[in-house]
Every structure is written in C-alpha cells, then in structure tokens.
C-alpha cells in the first residue's frame, strides 16, 4: 500500500536557522501517527510543509500521491489544525461553519453542529468568548468537517484539561475508526498519545530519530539492566541508544540486532515513553550513543 | 469567498455606512442653506449689476465649522486603507487565522483576490459617495471663490477621492503583507498616503499638462477665467528675465522696480507702469485653465489607481512566493 505521507530528505531552512533537516518519514494509510520531540525540534515545520503552508528548501514530500501544494483539490484532502487554534474571535461557531461550507467542496456542517451540541458548546457565541477547550473542540470539529483524508494536528492537546484531552482523543479515535483517514498529530503528552496512536515519528534537533509503527518499535527495543561494566561487548552486537550508569549498575536502551545472549543483562521490554525519552536524551546529551542514535532514522519503515 | 468577506466585514461596513449617513445629513442641511444664500445673492447682484464684485464682497455661505468639516473629508479616502487594508493580511497573520483560511479548499490567490476586490470596491464607493456629496456642497463655494482647482478643493471633489481610496487600500494591504504586523503597516500606510498626496498636490499636479502662459500689458492685468490653477505670475523684461531691483530697492504690486523706472516711484501716487512698458516689460501668468479640471481629475485618479495596481501585484507575488 502506498503511504499517505512520504518524505525524503525534506529540509526547511529559514534565513539563519534550519528548522527541519533531511527528514525522511513514511506514514501508511489509516495510521494515527504521533509526532513527538522536544520544543523546537521541527514538528510544526514538518506539519506546515505537509499542509502546503510552507515550501521546503530541500528534499521532497509526497502527500496523497503528490507534493503538498496550494491547490483546492489538494487542500480539500487535508485537515490542518495549527497550534494556536486559530479561529476568528468575533465570529461565532455558526459563522465558521458557514465559512467552511463556502470554501470547501465536501463539507459536513451537520457533523460540527452535532459534535458541538454533544459537547454543549454554543453555536451563537463569538469564538473569542469560548474557553480554550471549547475552541479546540470547535476547531477540531471544523477540521473534521472538511472530511479530509489526512489530518495534521499541531499540539491539539496542549490547550486542554485532562478530561477535555480524553474527549478529544476519543473524538480522534472515533474519526479514524470510520476508515480512510490518516492522522499525524504532534504532542508532548505521551500518555495520551499511547492511548490512541499506532505510529510514531520522533524528531529531535531538526532530524528524524525514529519513524515506524509503535508495535514494531516496541518489539525492536529492549532495556538491559546489569552490573556496572564495560559496554563495548554489548555495543558490538546491539545498537545502544542510551546508556545510564550509576555507581552500581548500568541501564541501556538498545535497538536489537539479534538476541541478547550475555546472562549478566536483565532484559525488559520498554514502554513507549522509555523509548521516546531514550532517543530524546541521547540526541540532547551528545555522548555515548547519541550520534549513532541520531543516524537511526527510518527504522521500522512502512511494513 | 464573497460570503466570507461579507461575514467578516459586515459590522465595519455598517459602521462606515452610518458615519457616511451622518456626514451626508449634515452636508445636505448646510449645503441647502448655502445654495439658498448663493442664489439670493445672485438674484440680488443681477438687479444691482454688482455681480462682478461678488467674490470680494465677504458673502458668507456657511459657518467656517462646516467648511473645515468639508476640508477634513480629505482624510476619508485614507480611512478604509488604514482600518481595513492594513489588517487584511497582517491581522490574519498576527492572529494565526491565515492557517485556518489558507487550509480551506481555496488558493491564497483567490482568497486575496476576492477579499481585496471587495474592500477596494467598498473603499472606492465610500470615498466616491463622500466626494459626491462634497462636490455638490462645494458648488456655490467654488463658484463664489473660483477655487475648484486649488489644493483642498480639487482633492475632495470629483473622482480623485475614489482613486486615493483605492490606492490607500492597496497600500494598506501590501504593507500588511510585507511587514506581517498591523501597527507598522498602519504607520506605513499613513506616511505613504500623506506623502504621496502632498507630493501630487503641491508639485506633480502642476505639470500633468503643459501649462498655458499669457502675457499682458502691465496696465491691463489679465486674470484667467474661472477656477484656474495658477503656477506662476509676474513681470518679465525684454530679455525674458524678471526685473532686477534698482539701487532704491523699490517695489510695485509685489514686483521689483528696475533702476530705469525708479524715478517714477517718488511722489504721492507712484506709477512706474508706463515707463516699464516703454522699456519692454510685460506681465505674464502661467496656469492650468479651468477647462482642464476634469482632465486633471482623470489623470490624478489614474496615477493613484495605477500605483494601487502595482502594489496589489506586489502583494500577490509576495503571498504566492512566501510560505505562510
């Protein structure tokens, strides 16, 4: 199956800074992909490039079979929700529904009204007077009403309280369950992500550290715990992503290249958070397996 | 997109319409009064045969307050550009709503074209409507003072206000797109508009067409007919140069009296004119005739509309080229 999103060497340079460097990812159809990484890692830039709001300075992106472009037919397939949850402050939800109806070929205004009614969000009040959570729900509903095939959400959970987050994530899962929808959402909230996402893209320092199905990633990584000792032997057979040493013991996050034979190591399956944090801190620390980890892009692939 | 534009600007539009209505009512009432005074004065002077001196008679058509109000409409064409034009793109960029607008199934070009189109039209209609009322109101004044072609009269009547408004709107939109912030865009629009208006009114306008120069005998001064636009006026000698003041440094009618005719400057009623004429001095006036009023209106409106078109082209180019 051709991936919905496929980029190779995608790069975005602004005048002085490189926001995204040599980004190669692939998201198969139907996935809910979590785009994670520290602040300034290039998550927003990647989403904006995919939405056609910015043009890359290098590399190429294929989204739904073509490069992202400023074209009504393309834009009709994309739902983009920016981090600041942009809505016209003085316009009501009903006004926004009207705008969407006038600017989109497929538009499901009924869906927005039903969702908002279910959440008890008034349709006739200016968006500026709604709470942050209500605005986020309204913006998501408007994005979904386009009936996009690819949903790009930039930190949609950031403005929400825990309960609203749960509702929001549930709404996403429900939208994806209908089929034919692929979602890429960036977030810092790993717990929420784990509940709904089945695919992960990890960016750090403008580069892709990991990209693949979460199940695959979990199966590929192990946490090794053992007495403090030289790690050269294990590093020769496994890819050490991160190494933590205390005076008494060594903890390693490794990407498996084969079975761990040395009985000195206790082998545990990591959870998603441990993998993500392992790669993120490896990239930051710049020691140990950092550079090696940084080159570990596109593992997992699009099987 | 038209519906979207209407939805976003309907309150501003209603406010502008209300302000215009208020201004129109004030001008209608005072204008009717002025027209009445003017017509009675004309009837009166026709009976007495004093119509030639009506201009200097100190006839008051309206209170100076209303005249000031009418002159102040000079700023009307700027307002839509400031308050609708400058924030049109910059306001969206500041609020982030461009990310909503430009990810609907519409190109930025179409978004800009429709929205800018309606705003340009609204600005032209507003300024044109104010100008129409002001033009009617100014009729008796301009007839009385023969000043339709003067700065602050020419600029608030006819079709130029609509041209100014289109330019101000385009400037506001373009500045907002380039600077991405409303406040600096506002400042640029204000400065650019005021600067160009001053430049055209004080200098450029004098040269739209080759001016007419009339030479006259000093004893029979010539004044062009109607509301002409004067450029220069004075005496010139046989060498084509203005007179050089003599050692006595005498002046007559605001002109220097040359040495050869200074002897006529003494006595109770000095009159150097026959002497000056005998030495080949003439009077001249260089001006744009009143008949060119509408040609000049067309040229000036055209200049501003062309500049607006250039600014809009720049805006489209920038918006297309630059990422959001």
Query: Could you write out the DSSP letters of every residue in B256-312?
Result: EPPGGGGGGG-SSS---HHHHHHTT-EEEEEEE-GGGHHHHHHHHHHHHHHHHHHHH
Select the residue from B103, B118, B318 to test the A interface by mutation, using most A Cβ atoms within 10 A: B103
Output the pLDDT for position B103: 92
- Give residue B1's pLDDT band: very low, low, confident or very high (50, 70, 90): confident
Q: Is the pLDDT of residue B80 over 90?
A: yes
Output the pLDDT for position B249: 86
Q: What tens digit of pLDDT does each residue of B24-47 get?
A: 999 999 999 999 999 888 888 888
- Beta-carbon separation of B107 and A146 below 8 A: no
- Taking the C-alpha atoms of residue B222 and residue B233, their distance in angstroms, rounded to an integer, is 10
* Chain B residues lying within 8 Å of A155, measured CB to CB: none
Q: What tens digit of pLDDT does each residue of B215-265 get?
A: 999 989 899 988 999 999 999 998 888 888 888 888 888 888 898 888 888
Q: Which residues of A touch B (CB under 8 A)?
A: 48, 51-55, 70-73, 75-76, 78-80, 82, 84, 86-91, 95, 98-100, 102-105, 139, 142, 146
- Beta-carbon separation of B104 and A95 below 8 A: no
Q: Is the pLDDT of residue B314 over 90?
A: yes
* Chain B residues lying within 8 Å of A79, measured CB to CB: 103
* Chain A residues lying within 8 Å of B318, measured CB to CB: none
- Taking the C-alpha atoms of residue B158 and residue A126, their distance in angstroms, rounded to an integer, is 41
* Chain A residues lying within 8 Å of B91, measured CB to CB: none
Average pLDDT rounded to a whole number, residues B108-134: 96
- Give residue B277's pLDDT band: very low, low, confident or very high (50, 70, 90): very high
Output the pLDDT for position A284: 56
Name the residue among A56, A68, A70 with its Cα closest to residue A10: A56
Tokens of A103: 């600017």
Calculate ∠ Cα B164-B165-B166, nearest 5°.
Answer: 95
- Beta-carbon separation of A102 and B98 below 8 A: no
**Could you give the percent of chain B with pLDDT greater than 90?**
71
Question: Which residue did the predictor score with more confidence, B322 or A29?
Answer: A29
- Beta-carbon separation of B323 and A82 below 8 A: no
Output the pLDDT for position A289: 38
CA separation, residue B174 to residues A134, B117, B138, B303 (Å): 34, 13, 34, 17
**Could you give the percent of chain B with pLDDT greater than 70?**
99
- For residue B103, what is the nearest residue in chain A, using CA coordinates? A75
* Chain B residues lying within 8 Å of A184, measured CB to CB: none
Shortest alpha-carbon distance between residue A90 and chain B (Å): 8
Output the pLDDT for position A151: 94
Shortest alpha-carbon distance between residue A100 and chain B (Å): 7
> Which residue ranges form the domains of chain A, and what is each CATH number?
5-204 (3.40.50.300), 216-294 (no CATH)
Shortest alpha-carbon distance between residue A238 and chain B (Å): 43
- Taking the C-alpha atoms of residue A83 and residue A80, their distance in angstroms, rounded to an integer, is 10
- Taking the C-alpha atoms of residue A153 and residue A140, their distance in angstroms, rounded to an integer, is 9
* Chain A residues lying within 8 Å of B109, measured CB to CB: 70
CA separation, residue B280 to residues A282, B223, B243, B273 (Å): 98, 20, 11, 11
**What ipTM does the predicted assembly reach?**
0.84
Shortest alpha-carbon distance between residue A40 and chain B (Å): 18
Beta bridge partners of B285: B214, B233
* Chain B residues lying within 8 Å of A70, measured CB to CB: 102, 107-109, 320
Q: What tens digit of pLDDT does each residue of B187-226 get?
A: 999 999 999 999 999 999 999 999 999 999 998 989 998 8
Select the residue from B105, B107, B115, B180 to test the A interface by mutation, using most A Cβ atoms within 10 A: B105
Q: From the first residue on, what is the mean pLDDT of each consecutive set of 10 residues in chain A (303 residues)?
A: 88 89 92 90 92 91 90 92 92 94 92 90 94 88 92 88 85 84 90 87 87 92 86 84 87 88 87 89 51 36 32
- Taking the C-alpha atoms of residue B78 and residue B84, their distance in angstroms, rounded to an integer, is 10
Shortest alpha-carbon distance between residue B124 and chain A (Å): 26
* Chain B residues lying within 8 Å of A82, measured CB to CB: 96, 99-100
Cβ-nearest to B104 among A55, A73, A100: A100
B6 touching A, CB under 8 A?
no
Output the pLDDT for position A283: 57
């Amino acid at each position: 199956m051709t991936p919905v999103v496929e980029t190779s060497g995608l790069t975005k340079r602004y005048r002085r800074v490189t926001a995204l460097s040599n980004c190669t990812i692939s998201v198969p159809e139907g996935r809910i992909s979590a785009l994670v990484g520290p602040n300034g890692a290039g998550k927003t830039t990647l989403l904006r490039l995919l939405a056609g709001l910015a043009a890359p300075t290098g590399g190429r992106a294929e989204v739904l079979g073509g490069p992202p472009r400023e074209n009504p037919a393309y834009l009709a397939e994309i739902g983009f929700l920016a981090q600041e949850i942009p809505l016209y402050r003085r316009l009501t939800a009903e006004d926004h529904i009207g705008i969407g109806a006038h600017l989109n070929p497929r538009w499901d205004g009924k869906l927005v009204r039903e969702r908002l009614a279910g959440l008890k969000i008034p349709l006739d009040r200016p968006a500026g007077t709604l709470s942050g959570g209500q605005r986020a729900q309204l913006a998501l509903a408007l994005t979904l009403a386009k009936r996009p095939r690819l949903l790009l959400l930039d930190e949609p959970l950031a403005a929400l309280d825990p309960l609203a987050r749960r509702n929001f994530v549930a709404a996403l899962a429900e939208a994806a369950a209908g089929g034919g929808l692929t979602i890429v959402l960036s977030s810092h909230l790993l717990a929420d992500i784990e509940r709904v996402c089945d695919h992960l893209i990890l960016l750090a320092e403008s580069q892709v550290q990991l990209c693949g199905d979460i199940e695959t990633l979990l199966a590929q990584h192990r946490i090794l715990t053992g007495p403090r000792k030289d790690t050269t032997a294990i590093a020769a057979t496994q890819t050490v992503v991160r190494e933590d040493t205390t005076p008494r013991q060594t903890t390693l996050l490794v990407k498996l290249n084969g079975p761990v034979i040395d009985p000195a190591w206790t082998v545990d399956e990591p959870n998603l958070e441990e993998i993500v944090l392992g790669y993120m801190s490896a990239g930051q620390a710049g020691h140990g397996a950092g550079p090696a980890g940084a080159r570990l892009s596109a593992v997992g692939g699009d099987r | 997109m038209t519906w979207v534009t209407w939805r976003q600007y309907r309150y501003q539009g209603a406010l502008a319409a209300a302000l215009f209505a208020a201004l129109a009512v004030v001008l209608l009432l005072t204008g009717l009064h002025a027209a009445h005074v003017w017509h009675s004065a004309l009837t009166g002077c026709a009976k007495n045969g004093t119509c030639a001196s009506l201009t200097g008679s100190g006839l008051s058509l309206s209170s100076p307050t209303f005249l000031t109000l009418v002159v102040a409409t000079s700023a009307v064409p700027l307002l839509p550009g400031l308050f609708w034009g400058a924030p049109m793109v910059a306001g969206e960029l500041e609020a982030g709503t461009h990310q909503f607008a430009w990810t609907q199934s519409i190109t930025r070009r179409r978004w800009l074209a429709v929205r800018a189109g309606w705003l340009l039209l609204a600005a032209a209609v507003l300024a044109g409507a104010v100008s129409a009322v002001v033009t009617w109101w100014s009729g008796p004044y301009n007839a009385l003072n023969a000043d339709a072609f003067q700065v602050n009269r020419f600029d608030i009547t006819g079709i130029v206000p609509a041209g100014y408004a289109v330019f101000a709107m385009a400037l506001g939109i373009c500045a907002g797109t380039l600077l991405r912030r409303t406040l600096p865009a506002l400042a640029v629009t204000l400065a650019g508009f005021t600067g160009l208006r001053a430049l055209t009114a004080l200098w450029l306008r004098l040269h739209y067409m080759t001016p007419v120069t009339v030479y006259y005998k000093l004893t029979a001064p010539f004044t062009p007919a109607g509301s002409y636009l004067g450029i220069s006026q004075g005496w010139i000698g046989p060498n084509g140069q203005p007179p050089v003041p003599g050692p006595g440094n005498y002046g007559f009618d605001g002109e220097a009296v040359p040495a050869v005719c200074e002897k006529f400057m003494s006595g109770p009623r000095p009159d150097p004119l026959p002497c000056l004429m005998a030495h080949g001095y003439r009077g001249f006036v260089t001006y744009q005739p009143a008949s060119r009023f509408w040609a000049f209106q067309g040229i000036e409106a055209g200049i501003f509309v062309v500049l607006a078109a250039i600014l809009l082209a720049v805006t489209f180019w920038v918006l297309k080229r630059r990422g959001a």
